[in-house]
Structure 1
Amino acid sequence: MKKKYVLPLIFIGVFILLIIPARFLWSEQESFEPPNEKSPIKHDVNVVSLQKDKARYKPGSDISFQAFLSDKPEHAIDMKVEFFHLGEKIHEKIIQVSEKNFKWKWTPPKEDFQGYLVKVSPLHNQDSFQSIAVDVSSSWGKFPRYGFLSSFSKMEKRKQSSIINKLNRYHINGIQFYDWLDEYHIPLKTKEDSPLQSWNNIANQHVEFKTVKTYIDLAHQKNMNAMSYNLINATLADAKNDGVKPEWYLYRDEQQENIDTHNLPDNWKSNIYLTNPANGAWQNYIFNNQKTAFKHLPFDGWHIDQLGNRGKVYDYGGKRIQLPNTYKSFIQNAKRSFQEKDLVMNAVNQYGQEQIAQSSVPFLYTELWDPTRTYTGLENVIKENNSFSKGEKNTVIAGYMNNKKSDGNGKFNTPGILFTDALLFAQGGAHIELGEHMLSKDYFPHHTLNMGDELTESLKHYYDFMVAYENLLRDGLQEAPLTVSTSNWVRLSDRPEKGKVYAFAKKDDGKKVIHLINYFDARHMNWRDEKGTQQEPSMKRDLTLYINEPKEVQNVWVASPDWNKGLPMKLEFKQEDGEVQVNVPKIKYWDMLVFEY
């Protein structure tokens, strides 16, 4: 070969080597946009917030994003978008932007039930970024993130859309329509086969059919499941006029003189009169009336509530009824009647949960009351539910935060909320707490406390974290033994303990996940933080850990909802004689350390 051809060929080869790897960062459907080479940026343009169009995506579907910037760029600038799955960056792209907000789409990998995290930053200033999570799941029941709605009076669609959009930012994928119904035994009344257009619910709140229907439609646009609330065995005072028979009721005595009754305030529609859930005629009656509601309102399922332990109760024949033993068969028969509908049932303080877990419910739901007061008690409920379901079903906790503080007006106490959510999420649970407002009482419309800007933003990161790392938090990892020590600023504990960092581990074949929850500055260990007195922890730095680990570790990384906006950070480590030494750079509430083998 002549020498005059050598240099051009070398140049072409180098050019190809530089271009091809970068080109493979884009999918075939996307256009390659080279970095902008225009004049320098005169002032910083920051990413303020990110949005996506749905709470959950089916495998193979496109995801639409939108980013909002602090200012309109003076000229076109390059934005870098990076996509992460667990600790690995799997994709990135450059987008040229000249407006204050911009949109793009991404088609994720085809695997079902996967969580991702997306980072967006200016190419010239990648330390200024925002992140948002993505859940790719064909159904909501594996990784439930439950929210609620509790007000259905006449409402502008714009206001309803705003509420659903807010819940979408927290990736809420199921909504409990609390007390939307007319009467428990006839959820939706009709006239000449047409639904009534308005009614008063049990609390004599006004309800509009149109409002309920619009909320369901808006939820479906975001891939959120709409769940119709109703009790398993409730009637109102006038039920005999609607065909309810004395033989169907529960009684407080063997002589059937006193129907089991749950008293309500005088200004409500009625007290509640309880039936026997095992009675076949009652089941047929309530199932048919529930079908009528489903016919006119496209709910995705039934959120079945109960009133907990009723003490000694009897059927019409004087036989003692053990209510928990009626729940599984009720759910099974309901599933036969509504084969396409999801069924979820509340276990009040775990009452009947063992039986519920054996039914077709996709996840377990526990409403917690005293005596479950401590963080240890809280996590034990999730562990018990894992045992009941043999590790196959996740848990949603209904736990009402700052409940005594909410007797007055004010703001939720951010540290109390974050400590509880950190423990719940780390143990694989979820917390029904977000709706039109945040829950503080078991009567969902109660609203005296506001979230405040700090809590609003912090919870976005917590829910992003729960979604992005759902395959480590909620996807069947098993408890693992952990021997860990430190010589730094704190003592470690194998349980939630005031003044210490709680450390526990879970594992699968390829990873060990170590959770660190920092109770060093905690004022108390009451998960409900009833009076809103829990103390904010200071950000602690440099926690050097010595961890027994017989397997050879290939990579170590850390992530936290409290810093770095949830993004994974690789860590240097040493492994000698079955021990890993690694320095966690900082911790506030909760860090997650991951060993990859």
Structure 2
Amino acid sequence: MNKYISVRKRDILLTGILLIFTLFFSALLQKVYADGAAEVSGIYVTEVHVDKACYGLGDTVTVTAVIKNASAAEWSGKIYLKIFHNDELMDTKNTALSLSAGTTASKTFTWTPPMEDYKGYLVQAYTKDSDSKTTAIDVSSEPSRFPRYGYIQNFDEEIKKNTIEDQVNTLTQDYHINLFQFYDWMWRHEVPIKRSDGTHPDKSWLDLFDRTISLDTLTGYINAVHNKNAAAMAYMMSYAAREGYTDYKVSPSWGMFKDTGHQSQFDVDFGNGRYLWMFAPTNALWQDFISKAYTDVVNTMNFDGIQMDQMGQRNNVFDYNGNSYDLKNSFSSLVNTAKKALQTNNTGKGLLDFNIVDGTVDGWALEDIAKNADTDFNFSEIWWLSNNYNQLRNYIEQLRGLSGGKAAVLAAYMNYNMNYGRCYEAEDASYNGVDVATDHPGFSGRGFLQNFAQQGDYVQFTIHTEEAMTYALVFQYGDKDAEATRTIYLDGNKIGQVGFHAKGNWDTFAHDAYMNTYLGSGSHTIKVSYDAANKGAINLDCLTLGEFEESSIRLADAAIAASGASHIELGAGLDDVTMLGSEYYPNTSKVMSGDLKTAMKEYYKFITAYENLLYDPEITYSDQGNQYISINGQNISGDGSPGTIWHMTRMTEEYDILHLINLTAERDSEWRNPSAAPGNLTKLEVKYYLSPDAHISGVYTASPDYNGGGSQELNYETGSDNTGTFVTFTLPSLEYWDMVYIRRSVAAPKDDIYEAEKAVKTGVTVNTNHAGYTGTGFLDSFAEPGDEVTFQILAPSDKQYALNFRYSNHTGYSASRHVYIDGNYAGVLKMSDLSSWDTWENAALSAYLKKGVHTVSIYYDGSDSKGINLDSLKVN
């Protein structure tokens, strides 16, 4: 009894001490947690950026981090910097900082990158009390290696120097633009710089559409671009001169004509009394003339090179002497002459690219430019021959393949000719002197307002904006007979005049009448008024706050970058940056929302940091089959089908690279069209097949959609099944675009013999019931269309290789199979009938392979025939 009491007392005492300790420790934890939470919620790295668009070898990078203390107490701590190249941590830095409550400070770091040219890096800045912010570094002695092409299109004399600097700083710091196309800056296309005294450039001149070009503004932009270590490219037409060209020593005998008697020269009529007349690109006198104009542009204006344009396909072309002229194969001659002239003039300012208009697979003039032209990178305007995602992907792969991996830039105009944005119907507005009608088709809403034709008539819209920014006021209208004008009032104040253009009938509703104006957040009135200074009759259908649709931009940019190209789309203008939605670059009838600008900053940071995994010339491609990948519970496609996760596989010597683009909410595969925002898919279980000779050392994922683009290492498992050797991992999330990259080494097997039973298999089985095979078995049931075997092989150097497929065939007939290398058709294997299934022979195919890892697929196409057994592939 006494013993029991003493034990009980001891237990009570211990319990009390434990309870007191628990309460004390819990209170301490709560205080620490509360203090930590206050610090975490109050300390922010608000920004991090670098000082240049790109850096040369040996250059010092300056990184600036901006830190804000939004708490009510002073903060002291360290700012940390980490610099990564893909998955590799390159350097760490830190510095101490104290911040009073409510203050902001900047800290700079300097870093000298390794002496390796053409490398991208991700920079992460953070404190122990804040989330990180990231930026990117591009070390490239030539910006044309990884071009992130932007544009400048307004050279009005009213643009101030600080505006120029702010615009260029934004484009280079926030979006990492490293080349700028100066669009329509010239006086005449054949005589770009106006010199009234014959020697010195005029202070200003008018362009083709009577816009004022200020010399000071033009040179101010060029200087600002150079201050950021970016390149300034002068837009020039390659083979055209303005009306009256004979006054400027251009001869019609250099021209291209529609007839054999040189009576009808090819031209473009702009409808304003202005023309561009076309000349034969191979004509030596024209080449000499325009090359001198190019070098004059570089020497006088300090441009870094020339953006050469053309007007697209022309058929039935004749030269001045009536000879049939092969235009599509003539451009490389002009390009190479101009390039030589620029290089001879100044080797440091000889950049050159040429526009492959209407780019598509096997397109017009593609092969001549891609294979033969001495361009620094390839530029291609996309029109109506590459309308869906996969057509873009196929074209980019072909363009880069034909040019030996040269960089590619697409001019692909998003939401083209679409009146997209918040719409306010005219019939729902307040109005005077007009009435509602429905007798002309094509209107939106319930109808349109007609009889808008007399002084005093007006239509007034009440609109609402959530975001303070510059908007596009786009008016959809009908105008049959003559040019019309209307005066626009914002909240009762006159802000300008808009022109409406005659369409020849009342059944055409156009939306090419617009103006840009700044609107604060909240409600506003927009009045369209027929004032004394106005003219013409119109029907008014609606007012749209024109904007770009965010999801389509993000998906199209993901498709372009994952395919291996970049996209010219961002330029200087409006509040800070504008987006390209038309072939006429000054058109600003659509604007970027704040959310889209934020998304584009993340995207451009991502493609800069991971430029080596996206754009290196050595990257090889796999085919578009689904044999490489499965995602549990998800529909997948290799061709960008709507309603799927679109996968693309690329390879380097170090990595297998898997791109996943979320098209699960897409209604169609047209990249221009507005899209539904994809849902954020989480915890995706991925199985990916790769070479049995691969040794994996890490699986990583990175995305412009989360984590500031930073890479995350994933847990993974390896194994094999009836299909082949695989790695499995769980992808945390997929919003628009994820890139998974698998670090691995690939060793060639003994005697360079790749056993078929270890390859990736579709529709075939492993067997051992016929003697004479190598390895552990062979593949049989290779007998139906769609059956396929894919090898991942290693080419130790750039050279011609013999691919020997060891097979057996005892069907009584010859068999055939299609072979694809890196997704490209390489030829047909013909396999003779042999004496028995125990007899093995080789069927060979020759191919030139660059050093690195490649896929070789042997495929039963619909045109192939007869079953075979496949034993191995030997690479000689």
- TM (norm. structure 1) is 0.90
2:375 aligns with 361
Report the counterpart of residue 419 of structure 1 in structure 2. Answer: 555
Cα deviations across residues 259-303 of structure 1 (Å, max 9, x unaligned)? 11111032xx61111111111111222222333222210000010
Q: Which residue of 2 aligns with 1:381?
A: 395
The answer to whether structure 1 residue 344 and structure 2 residue 353 are counterparts is: yes
In the alignment, which residue of structure 1 is the partner of 2:275? 271
Shift of 1:539: 0.8
Aligned to 2:300: 296
User: Could you list the per-position Cα deviations for residues 414-436 of structure 1 after superposition, in whole angstroms to 9, with x for gaps in the alignment?
Assistant: 10000000011111110000002
The amino acid across from 1:588 in the alignment is E
Match of 1:105 in 2: 110
Matched, 1:331 2:329: no
Distance in 2, Cα, partners of 1:133 & 1:447: 29
Q: How far off is 1:307 after superposition?
A: 0.1
Structure 1 match to 2:135: 132
**Per-residue CA shift, 1:160-191, capped at 9, x if unaligned?**
11110111021111111011000001011222
The aligned residue for residue 189 of structure 1 is 194
**What residue is the counterpart of 2:285 in the other structure?**
281
Q: Counterpart of 1:96?
A: 96
Find the residue that maps to 1:461 and give its secondary structure.
helix
- The one-letter amino acid paired with 2:138 is D
Verify the 8 A CA contact 1:486 1:543 in the aligned structure 2.
no
The answer as to whether partners of 1:498 and 1:522 remain within 8 angstroms in 2 is yes
Q: Which whole-Å CA distance do the structure 2 matches of 1:507 and 1:456 have between them? A: 31
AA partner of residue 324 (structure 1): K
Q: 2:160 is aligned with what amino acid?
A: E
**SS in structure 1 of the partner of residue 664 of structure 2:** coil
Report deviation, 1:77.
2.1
Which shows bigger deviation, 571-580 or 174-183?
A: 571-580
Partner residue of 2:751?
Answer: none
In structure 2, the partner of 1:479 is 621
Unaligned 5+ residue runs, structure 2?
A: 1-34, 99-103, 420-510, 512-543, 573-577, 745-876
Aligned length: 551
Letter in 2 for 1:399: A
In the aligned structure 2, how far is the partner of 1:112 from the partner of 1:131?
22
TM-score (normalizing by structure 2): 0.61
State the distance in 1 between where 2:110 and 2:162 align: 25
| 2:240 pairs with one of 234, 258, 261 | 234
Larger displacement relative to structure 2 (411-420 or 322-331): 322-331
Q: Which residue of 2 aligns with 1:399?
A: 412
1:523-560 per-residue CA deviation (whole Å, 9 max, x = no partner) reads: 3211112xxx3111111101101122322312111111
User: Does the 8 Å contact 2:562/2:648 carry over to 1?
Assistant: no
Q: What is the CA-CA distance between 1:86 and the residue it aligns to?
A: 0.3
Which residue is 2:165 aligned to? 161
CA distance in 2, matches of 1:444, 1:262: 18
Which residue of the partner structure matches residue 18 of structure 1? none
Match in the other structure for 2:80:
80
2:42, 2:70 within 8 Å by CA — same for their partners in 1? no
Cα displacement string for residues 367-388 of structure 1 (whole angstroms, at most 9, x for unaligned residues): 0001321101111110120222
Q: Is the 2:387–2:671 Cα contact (8 Å) retained in structure 1?
A: yes
In structure 2, distance between residues paired with 1:234 and 1:486: 52
Aligned equivalent of 1:223, options 226, 229, 234: 229
Q: CA separation in 2, counterparts of 1:133 and 1:140?
A: 15
Distance in 1 of aligned mates of 2:743 and 2:57: 26
Who is 1:318 aligned against? 322
Q: For residue 763 of structure 2, what is the aligned residue in structure 1?
A: none
Matched, 1:542 2:683: yes
Instruction: Give secondary structure in 2 for the equivalent of 1:447.
Output: coil
- 8 A Cα contact 1:188 1:289, kept in partner: no
- Contact 1:50 1:132 (8 Å CA) reproduced: yes
Tell me if 1:575 matches 2:718: yes
Deviations 1:118-145 (A, max 9, x none): 01111233xx111111100110111111
Structure 1 residue matching 2:93: 3-state secondary structure: strand
Q: 1:322 Cα shift?
A: 1.4
- C-alpha distance 259-512 of structure 1, shift in aligned 2 (>3 A): same
Query: Shift of residue 404 of structure 1?
Result: 2.2
Equivalent in the alignment of 2:697: 554
1:463 aligns to what SS in structure 2? helix
- Local SS of the residue matching 2:290: helix
Cα offsets for 1:323-373 (capped at 9, x unmatched): 122211111111221102111100101331211122210111110001321
1 CA distance for matches of 2:134 and 2:96? 19
Distance in 2 (CA, whole Å) between partners of 1:463 and 1:519 is 21
Does residue 1:71 correspond to 2:207, yes or no? no
Answer yes or no: is the 8 Å Cα contact 1:263–1:272 preserved in 2: yes
Report if aligned partners of 1:173, 1:225 keep a CA contact under 8 Å in 2.
Answer: yes
Distance in 2 (CA, whole Å) between partners of 1:348 and 1:309 is 8
Whichever residue aligns with residue 107 of structure 2, its letter is F
**Take 2:180 and 2:669, find their aligned partners in 1: how far apart are those partners?**
30
Q: Report the alpha carbon displacement of residue 65 of structure 1 after superposing the two structures with TM.
A: 1.7
User: For residues 389-419 of structure 1, what are the alpha-carbon distances to aligned partners after superposition, in whole Å with 9 as ceiling and x for unaligned?
Assistant: 13x2021000111122354542211100000
Tell me whether 100-109 or 200-209 shows the greater mean CA deviation.
Answer: 100-109
Q: Which has the higher contact order (CA 8 A, sep 6+)?
A: 1
Q: 1:152 & 1:104 partners in 2: Cα distance?
A: 35
Q: CA deviation at 1:45?
A: 0.8
Q: How does 1:112-131 map onto structure 2 within 5 Å?
A: 112-125=117-130, 128-131=131-134
Q: Which amino acid aligns with 1:56?
A: C
Is 1:208 aligned with 2:208?
no
1:247 aligns with 2:253: yes
What is the alpha-carbon distance in structure 2 between the residues aligned to residue 411 and residue 335 of structure 1?
39
Which residue number in structure 2 is paired with residue 515 of structure 1?
Answer: 659
The answer as to whether partners of 1:72 and 1:100 remain within 8 angstroms in 2 is: no
Q: CA deviation at 1:487?
A: 5.7
- Which has more strand, going by share of residues? 2
CA RMSD of aligned residues (A): 1.6
Larger radius of gyration: 2
